[in-house]
Amino acid sequence: MNEPLDKASTTELLDREAIRDCLYRYCRGIDRADEEALRSAYWPDAHDNHGAYSGPAEGFIRLALGIFKTAPRNVHQI
What confidence tens digit (pLDDT) does each residue in 23-47 have? 999 999 999 999 999 999 999 999 9
Which helix (H) or strand (E) segment is 63 a member of?
helix 57-68
pLDDT at position 69 is 80
What's the chain's average pLDDT?
A: 91
Burial (CB count <10 Å: 0-12, 13-18, 19+), residue 72: exposed
The span from the CA of 19 to the CA of 27, in Å, is 12
Q: Note the pTM of the prediction, 2 decimals.
A: 0.82
Using a pLDDT cut of 90, give the percent of the chain over it.
65
Q: Is the pLDDT of residue 54 over 90?
A: yes
